[in-house]
Chain A
């Protein structure tokens, strides 16, 4: 018997938003019946680009149904940009907790959301199954690719084959791929620690990164631009992309593009990380 939290039971017994949105803006189906769970997720946006309606249909156990229900509640009111950042951990948070062996249910929720957003953006047809996942299939029983194993391992800080099984199902069938999963994990963490040594910036939390970026902009970049009667304002940061607003003379300057690349971007790369790019959002 599973020890499900009250919230899991509540979402299982009284699931929210069951069904399919009519004429959805984004839609996706993940998982499949062979694997024992599948989720169809659809959503609609309002005129401001926020998710106004989200619905699900799920084939699966109590925790799969609860995770899907939690997902639909979680993303309502979000912009797609916000929704794109939702991870399986956020779904688990809504549910209080999930048994370790059932974490893969929350991962399925995250995948459905991401696939539906990709579908909205025209990047996919919204059907993600064995054949069109990125990467090479490692676990043939459940159709799990190396790409997915790496991604989930990094996001959830997973180090053992058993954890990978609980989060992705990989290795839970015949068990032929267990050695290979271990090798992938070894590779992921070796690579990560090598990278961390090279570049301490990647190792920082999002808030710390933003503080560092603002520091460099204020101390190093802004004084240079001010000499020419311009200025700069930090706007946002995600996926190694720094969004800024060039101000004063810079905003109308024909060589704003050059300034952006050669002054702003170079300085940020010099002080923080070579992976950063800069975008002026005017």
Chain B
């Protein structure tokens, strides 16, 4: 891979930079302390202590309080990624609720949930998809009509990766419980950006992913509330209290613990400084570029995410030209992924095709600066104008 020149990284909902503190915390566990946490001797056992410390750091970020007699947090299971956590939650619900065979999810879930739901349909479960309105909002009354006594699990994401909507997951959890169903949330985009206190929340299961909060790729967590029956997805050894087989990805777990601590310390900053940067970017672009629209629920949105549709042009071309300027962003357009239709989220909110194909997502992090925002605001209008010049749909 070539060494990039200066990069302005505005794609933090895709992945994030590993924080320097995180990297520093991890390295000893890749070099010096390579013991297996399950081993009996101290060289392994001490690694287990480090894993437990990481778990405690996560517990603090998530407001998880329950411990066993040895003071160990029992509700957090380390996995390999957010996708594994989602898979584990669904299949556990499938096996532990044999008398219920209905699953309820929203139409704007991540593929890690939607494709599991599809698989369950192939296994003769029923899946109901809760629609969203033009701002991507879920109507709770409509949701309650869908949930019933047959429902095993309701799963609604805490925050949407494409448009940034933050959903009232605790209210949804209460609705699920009213009908005896379990509630799971994919909180991959929410952790570190919105306050979470699971000890006082009705949420039964929650998925998170390390690499979205400045930890490395390849590590995730599934929270399973005490008292909720759980059946492992990954079968194997007795690791993670026999709830997830496979030798722990120690260094990444240590990194995730450190990242959780940093996220807790920076949560306020995410919601003030990063939010202000996002707003500056959004305001600058919508003021300077005609025919744009901002997608999502502006009253309940992640502080770092902005989904902007540049009408009458296509997203891949925009991203390619931004890439030439060293700017990294994402698009919901069809062409960027090789699929042929715009993203399911943009279709679910009923965005007209003139806008859907030209939708760009900017997602910031605490490592971004005002200078970067100003550079992007300065450069983007010319890129958009250039492509509109070529577009047959653009008049004047």
Contact = CB atoms under 8 A, between A and B. Distances in A.
Interface stretch (A30-38, A75-83, A209-217, A245-253): A30-38
Interface string B312-347: 111111001000100000000111101111100000
Contacts, number: 71
Contacts of B42: none
A61 B335 contact: yes
Per DSSP, chain B at the interface is: loop
A36 B317 contact: no
Contacts of B333: 36, 61
B353 A33 contact: yes
A18 B341 contact: no
A12 interface: yes
B391 interface: yes
Given A15-B390, A33-B393, A38-B392, A60 B340 contact: no
Interface stretch (A151-159, A165-173, A184-192, A194-202): A165-173
Interface string B41-79: 000000000000000000000000000000000000000
Given A38-B393, A57-B390, A60-B317, A172 B339 contact: yes
B391 A58 contact: yes
A18 B392 CA distance: 10
A36 B335 contact: yes
Contact of B357 (A18, A36, A101): A36
A59 B339 contact: no
A173 B389 CA distance: 29
A61 B341 contact: no
A165 B341 CA distance: 12
Interface residues of B, number: 25
4 interchain residue pairs of minimum CB distance: A172-B340, A61-B335, A61-B316, A57-B392
Interface of A: 12-13, 15, 18, 29, 33-40, 57-65, 101, 141-142, 165, 169, 172-173
29 contacts: A12-B317, A18-B389, A29-B392, A33-B393, A34-B353, A36-B314, A36-B333, A36-B335, A36-B342, A38-B393, A40-B392, A57-B392, A59-B312, A59-B357, A59-B391, A59-B392, A59-B393, A60-B314, A61-B315, A61-B316, A61-B333, A62-B316, A62-B317, A63-B335, A65-B390, A141-B340, A141-B341, A173-B340, A173-B341
